[in-house]
Each structure stands twice: as C-alpha cells, then as structure tokens.
Amino acid sequence: MIGVFDSGLGGLTILKHFLKELPQYSYIYLGDSARTPYGNRSQAVIYNYAKEAVDFLFSKGCRIVIFACNTASSQALRKIQQKYLPKKYPDKKVIGVIVPLVEESAKNDRIKRIGIIGTKATIASNIYAKKLSKLNPKLKIFEKSAPLLVPLIEEGWIKKRETKMILKKYLRELKTAQIDALILACTHYPILIKDIKRIMPKKCLIYDTGKIVAKSFKKYLEKHQELKINQSSSPICKFYTTYNISSFKIFGKKFLERKISKVKKIKL
C-alpha cells in the first residue's frame, strides 16, 4: 500500500499520474483540508501536521508515504526522514516532490532563467533555489510566493474572474523576468495550468509536476525492492479527508479527473 498525503486536494494532481504510470499498486490518499493552507503556518506546526499524517497512513498499512505537498516537503520532510522514522518506523520510507522537479529542471541545458511559484512557506525555505543552484550554478532563479491561490482553489474558485486576476498579478514579475521555465512549487497549482500557460509566454516551459514525480517514483520503487510493496491484479484506492466529504468528491473529481465514489472523514 502506498500513501499519498497533501494539505488538501492538490496532491490528487500527483495521485492522478501515479494511477496512470503505476496502476498495479494500491493507494491511500489523505487530504488535510480542514487545516489548509499549510503555507502560512510555522515550520513547527507543519512538522506536527506531517507527523500526524504519517502516523495515520502507516497505521493503515502503507509501506511508503509521499508528501504530495511542497510545503510539507520543504518544511518537514528532512526532519521526518532523519529523526522521526529511524526511531518509530525504521523499515518505512517518506519521500517528497521537490527533488524530481529540481533534477528535471537542472538537467535541461536550454533553461538559463527559471521561475518558481509556491506558498509562502515553500518560497521562504529557499529549498528550490538551493537545490537548483547546487546542480546548476549558472541558473538565474526568480521566486514568487502566491499565498491566496491554495485557499481559492480549495474553495472551488478555479474559474472565477477574481482568481484569474490574482494569478495574473502573481505571475507578472516572473513574466517580466523573461524566464525560460516555470516550476509550480505547489501541487494545487496544476489545476490552474491552462490559465498559467495563457498568461506566460509560449516559449516558457511549464512543467507537468505530476508526470515528472510519477516517473521518478517509478524508478524509486524499482530501486527499493526491500519495501516489499505488492502489486495487485485488483488494486484499490482509498480516500480520506479531514474536512467536508461532499466538497472533496466534487472538487476532487476535477483534480483527479475521475469520479471519487467513497471518502471517509477523519480527525488527525
């Protein structure tokens, strides 16, 4: 069983590609929409939320958990991996979404100027800039926080005029910087990818986050056979939310691009 965790609905954009690339596995998705957005919270709070999610998913039989959330990946992943897992779950793994995006970006020789848009916490961590600079010191990096996008998306305001106006304002600086590529450093943002592509110049490469993460995860599973994650002829996919079930089903369908028939509400 593979666990996928996000602060809300955004991680479904990652799960969507897992189901396409690795349909032979069973998944459990946990969206903590009751406490979203994580991006405006302190590192200590995000770490505690992440621990609770890990505990829940491991209790449900997951052998590995993917933080399909850039904020949790940037603020809590390293501490979870280095301090929490060795003591409590030495035989299990937790990984994030940042490294696959960084590696994909850094290896592209055509990219000289790269933009990053994400939550306040992710941008403040400077994790993308640090990792990108390490792999490609010649890259010019431009970052922009977009704190209003996650709550707007979670509320279902995807097609609202106000959301498009705010998105355009956030992207203005990156557009002016004439970037060659843009990293969507929040798994909620791909739901707005059509609007982002419309706003940014055609020459600007907009990464398909879920596709990149799914391909990287496939290689990871091939490398880590010791996890013993069984394939199935009849895999299942379970969904949990900490907020409203009907909202999860309605808006989650747009993220996952398939019907979500059954969701359980939990309290972390």
Which residues form the catalytic set?
A: 69, 186
Q: What DSSP character marks residue 90?
A: T
Taking CA atoms, 176 is separated from 90, 170, 179, 180, 199, in Å, by 47, 11, 8, 11, 11
177 burial (CB, 10 Å; 0-12 / 13-18 / 19+) is: middle
Rounded Cα gap, residues 73 and 252, in angstroms: 21
Q: What size, in residues, is the chain?
A: 268
Taking CA atoms, 113 is separated from 105, 110, 141, 196, in Å, by 10, 9, 6, 17
Angle at 92 between CA 87 and CA 97, to 5 degrees: 110
Instruction: State the DSSP H helix or E strand holding residue 202, giving kind and residue range, or none if neither.
Output: none
The residue whose two tokens read 């933009």 is 115
Residue 236 half-sphere exposure toward CB, CA atoms < 13 A? 9
